[in-house]
Structure 1
Amino acid sequence: MHAVIMAGGRGTRLQPLTTRVPKPMLQLLDRPMMEYILELLAIHNVRKIAVTVCYLPDAIREYFGDGSKWGVNLKYQEEPNPMGTAGGVKLAVHNNTKETLLVMSGDGLTDFNLSEAVAIHKQRGAMATLLLKKVHCPLGYGVVEIAENGKIVRFVEKPKTWTKGQSYCINTGIYILEPRVLDYIPANRPFDFGHELFPLLLQEGIPLFGYEAEGYWSDVGTLEQYYQSQIDMIQGKVRLNLPIEALSVR
């Protein structure tokens, strides 16, 4: 496995916290939120990791270095100009990998079983698998509709209404991709996974699946979510190695 952590965003919804600190470096309790992603990847034996950086990249590079402290091997790909989520990933792997790619956001918090998700991806013969989370209110998220066999049939971008009591599968921004998918990403302009690549793959009939993941997930995208994620950690809703001080509060 080869992972790519997307860590180049400006985190504008988290200002003023991100005025001088890149979003992946914001503290969740005792350490930067991207550190939890590294720890999760290491637990699932994903050791080769590329990190896409753009906004305040030195803060990320100086803290994580080569990744050896966490038992992983980190390489950095700086984007001179923002290339979008998919464009940045293509740049980071240079189109020369033959390995399955696990794409994660450096500014989220999750304890998903990544090994299980990859095994299902392989079992289905998927070219791309989106990890999904069931929620009752999908506002602010991209909704993914799947068939009984897990195949994605439709994308609904951030619906404005929803039905009370109904559950929706939302896109968590965690993807498992076969390297052939990179061929569909243009090299010379910004390109986005959710808005452009996945609808294109669906249109082209490429095997595109959704995997309903069990466990905790938060995109930590707003000040409210930033606060709530740390409350969830202290209350034991996330399976993580927490500091002694947090454990004593429970």
Structure 2
Amino acid sequence: MKNWQSLLVTPDTTLEVAVATLDHAGARIVVVVDDQGRLLGTVTDGDVRRALLKHLPLTEPVANVMWKTPLVAGPDWSRERMRAVMENRRLLQMPIVDSQGVMVGLETLHDVLDERQFDNPVFLMAGGFGTRLYPLTENCPKPMLKVGDKPILELILESFVDAGFHRFYISTHYLPEMIRDHFGDGSRWGVSISYIYEEEPLGTGGALGLLPKDDIQLPMFLMNGDLLTRVDYRGLLEFHAQQNSIATMCVREYKHQVPYGVVQAQGAKVVSMVEKPTQKFFVNAGIYVLSPELLSGVQPGKRIDMPTVLEEAIRNQQTVSMFPVHEYWLDIGRMEDFQRAQEQIRSLI
């Protein structure tokens, strides 16, 4: 891998800096070394997400979450040997160290394999009215509003195409002809696009009942058509498979500071007081991976929202997992979000 040195961090580096390095480099790993460059451990994208699931603060040093015994290669290893080991051990990256344990390189599975194409379908929800962005949406569906010089929905489509996905469905309702005229059959991007038309708004999950279920044989992405994100779609798909889930929901950490001192009591006895504590929650990020069997439970024409679909799966003792998103993410729901997207788009493309 070129520029692997940019992924080196020291043990006292914070998780916040590690996340920024992961997001910037796109290698899904940072390597922890000492002052002499000797390998101490690695922090992968998965390690960061597990830390977020535990609500560890971003001020935590990477030494507390790193994997201390990563599998390494020697500088004399051939690429064929590295590829064989990485595929056998299901590794996405492998540090290369010399006889003294000093980092001399980093190999990634992405670099040693040909570009892969994924047959998993992608379902983009683009049927909403976007009333909170009126008057911009008076004559334009919200997903077709331009951020920079491209519609939001086109930016989403291209992010999936860049990750290797080529089968798309788009749900439409409000001004559907504008979406169809712009995207056509997808050949402009080298992909296939089919359209699902909702005669009546069916909620965030109801359009699932209109899909050709016999054609959905692999886990499917479902994503709102008003999001900008750099989430790792391949990593999300791998996570879904590892969890053996019927559904995986992307989540974001949301912090809320109580503006008052919080008092804990036992009866009339005060046992503790915390001044303006910060509470942390996971909130729905509007991106899902759904196994094919989940679709069979959504009836055609039935209005239902995705949280209800997932709640029914949980009641049926089916596994629903969550995937914490640390990458860039912006829900363009309000006018101020739309303006923020215009300011930030140059850093995303």
Category of TM-score, reference length = shorter chain: 0.7 to 0.9
Match of 1:181 among 267, 273, 294: 294
Structure 1 segment 56-75 matched on structure 2, within 5 A: 56-75=175-194
Q: Which residue of 2 aligns with 1:148?
A: none
Superposition deviation, residue 137 in structure 1: 4.1
SS of equivalent to 2:278: coil
Superposition deviation, residue 168 in structure 1: 2.1
Q: Which residue of 1 aligns with 2:321?
A: 209
Q: Does 1:40 align with 2:40?
A: no
Give the stretch that moved more between structures: 202-211 or 85-94: 85-94
| Cα separation, partners in 2 of 1:102 and 1:225, compared to 1, 3 Å | same
SS of equivalent to 1:21: coil
Superposition deviation, residue 96 in structure 1: 4.2
| Cα separation, partners in 2 of 1:19 and 1:203, compared to 1, 3 Å | same
Superposition deviation, residue 217 in structure 1: 0.8
Q: Which residue of 1 aligns with 2:247?
A: 128
Q: Which residue of 1 aligns with 2:32?
A: none
Given that residues 213 and 295 in structure 2 are in contact (C-alpha distance below 8 angstroms), is that contact kept between their aligned partners in structure 1? no
Structure 1 segment 55-134 matched on structure 2, within 5 A: 55-94=174-213, 96-134=215-253
Residue type of the alignment partner of 1:92: L
**Normalized against structure 1, the TM-score is what?**
0.80
Given that residues 134 and 212 in structure 1 are in contact (C-alpha distance below 8 angstroms), is that contact kept between their aligned partners in structure 2? yes
Give unpaired runs (5+ residues) of structure 1. Answer: 139-162, 242-250
Q: Distance in 1 between matches of 2:254 and 2:344?
A: 16
Given that residues 25 and 34 in structure 1 are in contact (C-alpha distance below 8 angstroms), is that contact kept between their aligned partners in structure 2? yes
Given that residues 208 and 298 in structure 2 are in contact (C-alpha distance below 8 angstroms), is that contact kept between their aligned partners in structure 1? no
Give the stretch that moved more between structures: 24-33 or 75-84: 75-84
SS of equivalent to 1:66: coil
Superposition deviation, residue 164 in structure 1: 4.7
**Normalized against structure 2, the TM-score is what?**
0.58
Superposition deviation, residue 33 in structure 1: 0.5
Given that residues 126 and 173 in structure 2 are in contact (C-alpha distance below 8 angstroms), is that contact kept between their aligned partners in structure 1? yes
Given that residues 95 and 179 in structure 1 are in contact (C-alpha distance below 8 angstroms), is that contact kept between their aligned partners in structure 2? no
Residue type of the alignment partner of 1:52: S
Superposition deviation, residue 189 in structure 1: 1.8
Considering only aligned residues, what root-mean-square deviation do their CA atoms show, in Å?
A: 1.6
Q: Distance in 1 between matches of 2:158 and 2:215?
A: 26
Greater RCO, 1 or 2 (C-alpha within 8 Å, sep 6+): 1
Given that residues 52 and 89 in structure 1 are in contact (C-alpha distance below 8 angstroms), is that contact kept between their aligned partners in structure 2? no
Superposition deviation, residue 58 in structure 1: 0.4
Superposition deviation, residue 225 in structure 1: 0.7
Match of 1:8 among 118, 127, 132: 127
Give the stretch that moved more between structures: 206-215 or 163-172: 163-172
Give the stretch that moved more between structures: 116-125 or 225-234: 225-234
Give unpaired runs (5+ residues) of structure 2. Answer: 1-119, 258-275
Residue type of the alignment partner of 1:180: E
SS of equivalent to 2:333: coil
Superposition deviation, residue 165 in structure 1: 2.8
Q: Distance in 2 between matches of 1:164 and 1:224?
A: 27
Moved over 3 A (4+): 93-96
Q: Does 1:170 align with 2:283?
A: yes
SS of equivalent to 1:224: helix
Matched residue count: 212
Q: Which residue of 1 aligns with 2:310?
A: 198
Bigger CA radius of gyration: 2
Given that residues 95 and 182 in structure 1 are in contact (C-alpha distance below 8 angstroms), is that contact kept between their aligned partners in structure 2? no
SS of equivalent to 1:167: strand
